[in-house]
Chain A
Amino acid sequence: MQGLGSSGKCGSCGWIGSSIGRKQLIGITGVGLSLFVLIHMLENMLILVGARPYNEYTHFLTSNPLIYLAEGGLLAIFLLHVIFALAISWTNCKARDSRYAVASNGPKGTSMVQRSLWAQGLLILVFLILHLISFKYGAEYSVDYGPGPIRDMHKLVVEVFHQPAYVVWYVVALIVLGFHLSHGVGSSFQTVGLHHPRYQKCIRALSVSYALIVALGFITEPLYVYFIHRG
């Protein structure tokens, strides 16, 4: 009789090819992206403080040579998350070749948020591209507070967020991001193997509150600019 070790399967090279390895990669990169959006949201809150701190902080970030390293790392994490998530969604979709006539329901059902994670991801991807075009690669206004001209990001933000359609789209996209996080943050714990009956409720609560804080924080900026800060 053959022992278990004789099948000749390769563990370490198989990790990234396996369903579990891929999910773990999506989970870990997802945690990285979750931390990024939290920090980004907190930075955006500077809009509530004033134009000058907002612009000076933007300048501090973008003039730091480490920014290229950070941006490169972030891009890599993001691409890994998106590419592997799309690949696994495709595999998952093919794993059921005929559809049920009646969807599962009640306690045995699956929520819309969980069924549409891939669609949320695609919407966030579109949002992100448009977001970079509007802001990072948007109009280059400049302002001088003394030590020389720096980019007037505040002016651009105020200008963009005075377009009602843009505000609506921004808010919708950020609500979708909130749903994505409400599943993703908690799910990544389970995917890497962190599960304990005593802490499950805490993990769930953390996931939902994290999503709420990030989404509400982000939404604050356009709403503040549109309704309160009339430029």
Chain B
Amino acid sequence: MAEAKGMNLSLKIWRQAGPQAPGSFLEHQAKGVTPDMSFLEMLDVVNEELIRSGKQPVEFDHDCREGICGACSMVINGNPHGPQQATTTCQLHMRHFKDGDAIVIEPFRARAFPIVKDLVVDRSAFDRIQGAGGYISANTGAAQDANAILVGKKESDRAFASATCIGCGACVAACKNASAALFVSAKLSHLALLPQGQVEREERVVNMVAQMDAERFGACTNTGACSASCPVEISLENIARMNRDYAKASLKRR
């Protein structure tokens, strides 16, 4: 019954057997899709059908399916996480599509994000950037009294807004240069805006930027496509802060 009522979509999905294998688009049909399904649930339906007919299911990354882990990726009709802003693929609902739509689904494409299989890419470059300094190693001692170190509400809000980055990589996928500037600047900013982050602030920006470049992401052209594609709407202000801190740290370093 539901199947008769649902939408039918024709999908063109990037299929690639492995990192070195050549990839190409294959046509798949999604039948009986209801408006309340998420995009990933729609793909689950497609995969069940593929498995039933003895074919390889479409590989895609996912974990929480509630927009907080950053595992889901994929580029839907040219846009990372699909047409909706401030939305991850797992939170994108099929009500934004209509019966008969043709949807092109591709992996996040960047040299620094090599394709593992189909829509799954290796985003461990982000982990290595984070490992290059996205933490605090200065000893901060025992917990302070609540009001011993004052942090303004606005500063803490901005630090928190930067900390909401889920590291999904949509910024890289959206950028014409495959630049990781928005991700790196968010990780830098959430520490740079708080007192604990000050001691290592300059070394952190130098080391994380060096790692970003070593991973061979592109440079930032300030197009803003990253922020527009970001599911948690990380601000471009972070990139300016990173640029500023980087210039300052480079000038001051001995």
Contact = CB atoms under 8 A, between A and B. Distances in A.
Interface of A: 1-5, 7, 9-12, 14-15, 17-24, 88, 91-92, 94-111, 114-115, 117, 183, 186-187, 190-197
A193 B243 contact: yes
B228 A107 contact: yes
Nearest to A7: B207
A15 B202 CA distance: 13
A26 to B, nearest CB: 9
Contacts of B247: 15, 20-21, 24, 192-193
Interface string B6-47: 000000101000000001010000000000000000000000
Contact of B218 (A3, A96, A114, A117): A96
A210 B181 CA distance: 27
Contact of B221 (A106, A187, A196): A187
Contacts of A1: 137
B83 to A, nearest CB: 6
A148 B213 CA distance: 59
Contacts of A191: 220, 222, 243
A19 B78 contact: no
The majority secondary structure among interface residues of chain A is helix
B151 interface: no
Contact of A19 (B83, B112, B138, B209): B209
A12 B244 CA distance: 14
23 contacts: A4-B137, A9-B207, A12-B251, A19-B213, A20-B242, A23-B220, A92-B177, A92-B178, A95-B111, A95-B112, A95-B177, A96-B178, A96-B218, A98-B23, A101-B104, A102-B104, A104-B79, A111-B223, A190-B236, A190-B239, A190-B243, A192-B247, A195-B237
Interface residues of B, number: 64
Contacts of A183: 222
B203 interface: yes
B79 A106 contact: yes
A9 B210 contact: yes
Given A18-B209, A106-B79, A114 B137 contact: no
A196 B69 CA distance: 29
A109 B80 CA distance: 10
A14 B206 contact: yes
A190 B237 CA distance: 8
B243 A107 contact: no
